[in-house]
């Protein structure tokens, strides 16, 4: 069965520092992978997605992620974190038949940004 | 363009009661998915509706049921509420297929359900 693991439940970085959030997936075929962000009281906003092609994908708000099939990973990165990036981040994979749209999410990583 | 909206924002119920949550999909979207997000967890897929028919279901008991209406809005109904049903319920809508086998889901802000 497909699954997503986010090993870091909570991460604290200083404003201006670089960020990497880890995501590992379990999926037999080429996965459709996503990163979402959730601010308090808000729904999920899509940061970026990987379907195929270039393994380094660019997203909104200066985020990028790299798909590494050999490591079953899809880590999210940002070179310089802003205080407004403090939020909950979720990695997700499309489970089952891709056209049912069932998303399987990781547990999430809470990002705290120190001034 | 109006995004996905959900009502109510918050809801408090007691064990054994029934609840109905509502979702209006984004304009032009005909598919609605529901997710349950317990505190400190990632969202879990409940089910999806496409053109008023259930199109996939997650590991949730039958007391979780849904409807989709001709205007593609949707309801999530939960009977015989249990304490563990306390969660944020998220609705997501997506557009008809346009050559891609997967269509991006746009999420609403959610309904926070508390069961006492």
> Beta strands A109-114 and B10-13: pairing type?
unpaired
Say yes or no: A90 contacts chain B, CB-CB below 8 A: yes
Which of chain B's residues have a Cβ under 8 Å away from the Cβ of A105? 42-44
Q: Is the pLDDT of residue A99 over 60?
A: no
In SS3 terms, chain A reads as: CCEEECCCCEEEEECCCCEEECCEEECCCCCCEEEEEECCCCCEEEEEEECCCCCEEECHHHCEEEEEHHHCEEEEEECCCCHHHCEEEEEEEECCCHHHCCEEECCCEEEEEEC
With a pLDDT cut of 90, the percent of chain B lying above it is 72
- Note the pLDDT of residue A1: 75
Q: Which is it for strands B64-68 and B53-57: parallel, antiparallel or unpaired?
A: unpaired
Q: Which residue of A has its CA nearest to B38?
A: A107
- Residue A100: φ, ψ to 5°: -85, -15
Mean pLDDT for B39-61 is 92
User: Which residues of chain A have a CB within 8 Å of the CB of B48?
Assistant: 100-102
With an 8 Å Cβ cutoff, is B8 touching chain A? no
Domains of chain A and CATH, by start: 3-114 (2.60.40.10)
Contact A42 B45 (CB under 8 A): no
- Beta bridge partners, A12, equal A112
Cα dist. A45→A109, B64, B95 in Å?
15, 25, 16
User: Could you check whether the bond before residue B8 is cis, i.e. omega within 30 degrees of 0?
Assistant: yes
Percentage of residues in chain A having pLDDT higher than 90:
77
DSSP helix/strand/coil, B23: strand
Section B79-91 average pLDDT: 97
Q: Is B48 on the interface with A (CB under 8 A)?
A: yes
pLDDT digit string, tens, across residues B16-35: 999 999 999 988 888 999 99
B5-21 mean pLDDT: 97
Sign of CA dihedral B49, B54, B58, B59: positive
Sign (positive/negative) of CA torsion A13, A94, B84, B26? positive
Which tokens sit at A82? 């802003």
The tokens describing A14, both together, are 């200083």
Q: What is the percent of chain A where pLDDT is above 70?
A: 95
- What gap in Å lies between CA A43 and CA A40, rounded to an integer? 8
| A43 contacts B107? CB cut-off 8 A | yes
**Nearest chain B alpha carbon to A48:** B104
């Amino acid at each position: 069965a497909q699954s997503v693991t986010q090993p870091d439940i909570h991460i604290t970085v200083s404003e201006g520092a670089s960020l990497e959030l880890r995501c590992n997936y379990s999926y037999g075929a080429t996965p459709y992978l996503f990163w979402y962000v959730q601010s308090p009281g808000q729904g999920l906003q899509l940061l970026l997605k990987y379907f195929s092609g270039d393994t380094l994908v660019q997203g909104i708000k200066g985020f990028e992620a790299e798909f590494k099939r050999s490591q079953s990973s899809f880590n999210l990165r940002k070179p310089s974190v802003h205080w407004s990036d403090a939020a909950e981040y979720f990695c997700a994979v499309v489970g089952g038949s891709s056209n049912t749209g069932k998303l399987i999410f990781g547990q999430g990583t809470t990002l705290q940004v120190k001034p | 363009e109006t995004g996905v909206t959900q009502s109510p924002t918050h809801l408090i119920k007691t064990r054994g009661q029934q609840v109905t949550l509502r979702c209006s999909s984004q304009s032009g979207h005909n598919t609605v998915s529901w997710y349950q997000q317990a505190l400190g967890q990632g969202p879990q897929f409940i089910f999806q509706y496409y053109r008023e028919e259930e199109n996939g279901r997650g590991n949730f008991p039958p007391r979780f049921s849904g409807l989709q209406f001709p205007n593609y809005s949707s309801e999530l109904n939960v009977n015989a509420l249990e304490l563990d049903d306390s969660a944020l319920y998220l609705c997501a809508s997506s557009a008809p297929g346009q050559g891609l086998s997967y269509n991006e889901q746009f999420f609403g802000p959610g309904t926070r359900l508390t069961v006492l």
